[in-house]
Amino acid sequence: MIKALIFDFDGIIIDSESPELLAWQEVFAAYGRELDLDVWADLVGRPRNHFDLYSYFQEQIDPAADIAALRKERRARVIALTEQQPVLPGVHEYLRGACDLGLKIGMASSSSANHVRGHLQRLELFQYFHATKCFEDTEAHKPEPAPYRAVLDDLGIAADEAVAFEDSPNGVTSARAAGIFCVAVPNPVTCRLPLGHADHRLASLADEPLEQILARALAKSNS
């Protein structure tokens, strides 16, 4: 029996991946350069301390760059762009559907608690979640399984009783390593990345009813 849904935040609840990428692309474009998308692809779904893109920019583009000023300016740009992003299609329906079915709801994110919980509260979604694990809450991060295992522990359920929703290869790897049935729902940034290791793939949560996803997960756990 499936007892819980566990969501990633960035790219699943709102498309916060596109603002992050666009803000960096604007920085590189100001110098007549392009951000290598292979570099960016490796960062998606990982915590911010995995790779210092500011140091990379200083080393590769502008050794004299004022990193503190760049960080402040770019962060403001990302926040402004992110706050314009709507809740992605199907999210409300899945959350309400999970409540109607008596399922628990968790969040497993590599982003900071301020970012994740702040946006969930702003969007009036925080009340749906029984457990939220963010960067500060685990020692290991995606693609390691630790964030998902921490959510499972908080919810008091087994891995085969949950379904995860992820948008990145690193996130899918994390969920699958924790033994959870994982649905990949790529955003405009991650749709170009390899997601074949997910159990199922949707273009949007609005494309398939929650009950059908639960049936897929249950069928696999019983196979």
pLDDT in tens, 22-66: 899 999 999 999 888 778 777 776 666 777 889 989 998 999 999
Q: What is the pLDDT of residues 126-155, one digit of tens each?
A: 999 999 999 999 999 999 999 999 999 999
CB count in 10 Å sphere of residue 173? 19
Quick one: pLDDT at residue 7? 98
pTM for the full predicted model: 0.84
Strand partners, 164: 6, 182
Quick one: pLDDT at residue 41? 75
The residues annotated as belonging to the active site are 8, 10
* Token duo for residue 216: 């897929």
Write down how long the chain is: 223
**H helix or E strand, kind and range, residue 164:** strand 162-166
Quick one: pLDDT at residue 175? 98
Exposed/middle/buried for residue 151 (C-beta within 10 Å: 0-12, 13-18, 19+):
buried
In this predicted structure, the answer to whether residue 178 has a pLDDT above a threshold of 90 is yes
How far is it, in rounded angstroms, from Cα 119 to Cα 211?
Answer: 27
Q: Report the mean per-residue pLDDT for the chain.
A: 92
